[in-house]
Amino acid sequence: QLQLVESGGGLVQPGGSLRLSCAASGLHYYAIGWFRQAPGKERVGISCISSTGGTTTYRDSVKGRFTISRDNAKNTVYLQMNSLKPEDTAVYYCAAPASSCSRASYIVTNYNYWGQGTQVTVSS
């Protein structure tokens, strides 16, 4: 059982930054995706990183502002979020698929393990 734990969420002003972390024992074996879900909306994928960190993908709305990375020695994946906007407000989840980022895409049912989520609120 892979137990993912997110951390790093909080309240920030527009234009601010946060770094989210996703940690689990054995995480280095998995590609990891980041998803978010705003109140009343569907859960959507925003980024994914291969198991080695060699390839990354981003949803267009976060491209150039968010950066996904990983430190496999620490079994941790990060999401650096800069230039935050109110529309970034959501619960953020990390998730692990059985396959690669490209095969899993951002299809929620392709991700077998999920963290508990961490709240990000962007407001002045």
What is the DSSP pairing of strand 18-23 with strand 76-81? antiparallel
- In the chain, the percentage of residues whose pLDDT exceeds 90 is 99
Average pLDDT over residues 80-84: 98
Does the pLDDT at position 76 exceed 90? yes
pLDDT value at position 12? 98
Q: In this structure, are residues 54 and 113 in contact, taking their beta carbons and an 8 Å threshold?
A: no
pLDDT tens readout for residues 6-31: 999 999 999 999 999 999 999 999 99
Only one residue has tokens 């979020």, namely 81
Does the pLDDT at position 1 exceed 90? no
